[in-house]
């Protein structure tokens, strides 16, 4: 497992923990789902969770 997958999984675990705490505090599955969706969408939009690897710029090596 690469570093990107590990970071993504840690972010998702954090999202689920926060959503579970909010859902447990309000005793509502709807709040759990809403908080999980909002946090996941926010993290993906902010770039913290990257579903696809970012394209790397091609490096050209000069012959000397």
Inter-axis angle of helices 29-46 and 3-26, nearest 10: 150
- pTM here is 0.76
The per-residue pLDDT for 22 is 96
Confidence of residue 31 (pLDDT cuts 50, 70, 90): very high
Confidence of residue 64 (pLDDT cuts 50, 70, 90): low
Choice between 56 and 37, residue whose per-residue pLDDT is larger: 37
Helix (H) / strand (E) element for 29: namely helix 29-46
The most confident of 6-10, 15-19, 47-51, by mean pLDDT: 15-19
Of 38, 49, 42, which is closest to residue 5 (Cα–Cα)?
Answer: 49
Q: Is 49 exposed, middle or buried (0-12, 13-18, 19+ CB in 10 A)?
A: buried
């Amino acid at each position: 497992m690469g570093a990107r997958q590990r970071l993504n999984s840690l972010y998702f675990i954090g999202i689920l923990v926060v959503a579970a705490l909010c859902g447990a505090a309000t005793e509502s599955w709807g709040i759990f789902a809403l908080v999980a969706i909002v946090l996941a969408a926010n993290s993906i939009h902010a770039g913290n969770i990257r579903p696809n690897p970012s394209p790397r710029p091609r490096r050209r090596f000069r012959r000397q």
